[in-house]
Homo-oligomer: A and B are copies of this chain.
Amino acid sequence: MAEKQRKAQGAVAGRFADGRVRAVIDAVLPVVDGGRFPAKRIAGETVRVEAHCFADGHDQLGVVLRWHEIDDPEAYEIEMTAQVNDLWTAEFTPPAPGRYRYTVMAWIDHFESWRHELGRRNDAGDIRIALRIGAGLIDAAAARATGNDAATLSSWSELLRSTADDTTGHADAAAMQSLALDPARALIARRHADRSLAASMSLELVADRKRAQFSSWYELFPRLAASENGPHGTFRDVQGRLPYLARMGFDVLYLPPIHPIGRINRKGANNALVPLPGDVGSPWAIGSAEGGHKDILPQLGTLADFKALLWAARELGIEIALDLAFQCAPDHPYVLAHPNWFKHRPDGSVQYAENPPKKYQDIYPLDFESTDWRGLWEELKGVMEYWVAQGVWVFRVDNPHTKAFAFWEWSIGEIKRATPEVIFLAEAFTRPKVMHRLAKLGFTQSYTYFTWRTTKSELVEYFTELGNGPGRDYFRPNVWPNTPDILPESLQSGLRSAFSGRLILAATLSGNYGIYGPAYELMESAPREPGSEEYRDSEKYQVRHWDFDRPDSLWPLIARLNRIRRDNVALQSDHTLRFWPIDNDQLIAYTKHDRAAGKIVLMIVNLDAHNTQSGWLDLDLEQLGMAPDRPFQVHDLLSNQRYQWRGPRNFVILDPRHVPAHVFRIRRHVRSEHDFDYFL
């Protein structure tokens, strides 16, 4: 190989602006894509920050964590603690939802290094020299200090020097050492450490409110809410349903789009190309002469009605979530007002959505390559701002993966900068990397593949990945057993046990879950045609009437589950999920625990909707913090039955004709009296 001589690049420069910075910050965690995106946490909950810091040689490091809300120039500072192997840790608690910056600063602390070495010296002559060296370091600290600190430090350094100079032998090694190692004065010197050669590394974090991580959603078409068969439901009708939702314990009521529905190319019942007179159309075909994304379908009521609903719901602890579906019916006002937000065909007509040979002529997609993309972005952000101003703080975003990613990163960032409490749920049932990108760039929650994960191995693999994979710091699952678009094959049997089982899995595997009702609690199970995942007579295209009071409704089970979720902190986040071996492929067992209180909830679900299944469960009692040899009680929060267990291996049997699951609270010390009761 020929020896090459190349121009050496301009000597010492750039990254090495001050080569005397010897402290190294090799990594700061949590980090997402090297800092390209913020990690996500919950306001009011502790954030543990880890930093990998070291320097050459044997000097002592000073390492601090600084953090501040991003628009607040005032930073808090905490000393980080050295753990093993160059790991430094500190914790902070973002007090309120917002975007935070956290910065690790590390420097070589010559004063601490001096002190550390001094403690190991034993020769009086060496100590004498060390006192003089230390006096110089303390003088420098005094020069950086003011007031009392400066005076204390100056007199200390003077004392060290005079002691060092006193060769009459009055001060022995130990006395000199203890004078120099004085912890109280050292603390003052440390307050004025020399950070001029500090290294630093900054990252950002989004702190959301608790509901970002723990929420129970109910999706309802407002037009079906009427109490009698026939009329188009209104916001007032929805308001009338609120007590029902509150009784079930839901805290988010998600309404499909409430805007005027296009009349041009409107779809009929069961997605028919030609509507019958009176057909109401799909709420996702947004916009007509009656208005667009900031307007309300007159049949539902007025803005005042909507706000009344919003506040009535809030009284019951329920938030209204709106749908952001950024697409237009052919008669949406945008089509005339902003023709350049749409693609046009050579004949001048607007390009409708298509996936050849399929055509969606009732939908015009927005063109994110429009030369007026700035105008488009601002308008869509304006739609969000409008509804936020009305009091809507939760949005379910329709197919975000069919709109430009950069737009979401910008608009969600801007909305949350003004109102950090806003929650965005990404409805992207698409490829994994795309779903992850949406979560990274700002979506608060994400729909998942749970809807189609039905076997034990699928569930274990998927939820292990969700809990421990790279998405752990940014991807918050929201799991749904059904949606208006998806009646999964697992529910088409119509079996009560199938609906109960999937519901219990959703409500206990994930902090965030939701159902599309009343189709779910009334166990609607007929597909449009065999092999289809569409509902027959889908509410997407027609007004249906439901008997909410049917005696076989699942609502009592739902109410029980949501109550259990509220009462057990363990079920309110996803990071403690752990699966346990059970020797039957139809039984799945997992725990979640509440780290602070040390409380454990253990779920065992029978995945077979048809047959009783039994098996031996294996728990690692030591890992669960339990004595291996003492009996313990498992208290089924669903049935209120209690069992006494002993040892790691216990037998379980579940008949799906009753409730197909146990949701056990593990009580480590068996008590005779009931200390909690779900059956008031």
Partner of A374, one of B19, B36, B108: B19
- Judged by a CB distance under 8 angstroms, whether A4 is at the interface is yes
How many residues of chain A get a CB closer than 8 Å to chain B's CBs? 87
- Judged by a CB distance under 8 angstroms, whether A597 is at the interface is no
- Judged by a CB distance under 8 angstroms, whether A34 is at the interface is yes
Taking a contact as CB atoms under 8 Å apart, the answer to whether A357 and B123 are in contact is yes
Taking a contact as CB atoms under 8 Å apart, the answer to whether A418 and B19 are in contact is no
- A432-453 contact mask (Cβ, 8 Å, vs B): 1 or 0: 1110110000000000000000
Partner of A19, one of B3, B12, B54, B377: B377
Tell me, rounded to whole Å, the shortest Cβ–Cβ distance linking A139 to chain B: 12
Copies in the complex: 2
| Segment from A400-408, A516-524, A631-639, A654-662 that makes contact with B | A400-408
Partner of A437, one of B19, B20, B24, B401: B24
With contacts A417-B9, A434-B54 known, is A346 near B136, CB below 8 A? yes
CA–CA, A355 and B59, complex, Å:
10
Taking a contact as CB atoms under 8 Å apart, the answer to whether A369 and B404 are in contact is no
CA–CA, A15 and B436, complex, Å:
19
A33-76 at interface with B (beta carbon < 8 Å): 33-36, 52, 54-58, 71
Tell me, rounded to whole Å, the shortest Cβ–Cβ distance linking A262 to chain B: 21
Taking a contact as CB atoms under 8 Å apart, the answer to whether A405 and B20 are in contact is no
Closest to A405 in B: B24
- Judged by a CB distance under 8 angstroms, whether A526 is at the interface is no
| Segment from A114-122, A492-500, A543-551 that makes contact with B | A114-122
Partner of A402, one of B56, B133, B374, B377: B56
Closest to A401 in B: B56
Partner of A347, one of B129, B369, B405, B419: B129
A94-131 at interface with B (beta carbon < 8 Å): 96-98, 108, 117-118, 120-123, 126, 129
Taking a contact as CB atoms under 8 Å apart, the answer to whether B433 and A19 are in contact is no
Taking a contact as CB atoms under 8 Å apart, the answer to whether B6 and A418 are in contact is yes
- A365-383 contact mask (Cβ, 8 Å, vs B): 1 or 0: 1001110011001100000
Taking a contact as CB atoms under 8 Å apart, the answer to whether A3 and B405 are in contact is no
CA–CA, A300 and B197, complex, Å:
43
- Judged by a CB distance under 8 angstroms, whether A643 is at the interface is no
By a CB distance below 8 angstroms, the chain B residues around A417 are: 6, 8-9
Taking a contact as CB atoms under 8 Å apart, the answer to whether A8 and B56 are in contact is no
Tell me, rounded to whole Å, the shortest Cβ–Cβ distance linking A387 to chain B: 14
- Judged by a CB distance under 8 angstroms, whether A336 is at the interface is no
A1-27 at interface with B (beta carbon < 8 Å): 1, 3-9, 11-12, 15-16, 19-22, 24, 26-27
- Judged by a CB distance under 8 angstroms, whether A552 is at the interface is no
Closest to A440 in B: B26
- Judged by a CB distance under 8 angstroms, whether A168 is at the interface is no
Closest to A437 in B: B26
Taking a contact as CB atoms under 8 Å apart, the answer to whether A120 and B356 are in contact is yes
Q: Which of A6, A56, A436 has the most chain B CB atoms closer than 10 A to its own CB?
A: A56
By a CB distance below 8 angstroms, the chain B residues around A122 are: 357
Closest to A3 in B: B419
Partner of A431, one of B8, B86, B407: B86
Partner of A3, one of B35, B421, B434: B421
CA–CA, A452 and B378, complex, Å:
63
Taking a contact as CB atoms under 8 Å apart, the answer to whether B117 and A356 are in contact is yes
Taking a contact as CB atoms under 8 Å apart, the answer to whether A12 and B129 are in contact is no
CA–CA, A11 and B409, complex, Å:
12
CA–CA, A96 and B374, complex, Å:
46
A308-357 at interface with B (beta carbon < 8 Å): 345-347, 354-357
- 16 A/B residue pairs, CB under 8 Å, sorted by A: A3-B421, A4-B98, A6-B417, A9-B414, A9-B417, A12-B410, A19-B407, A20-B369, A22-B368, A22-B405, A26-B433, A34-B35, A54-B434, A54-B437, A58-B402, A123-B357
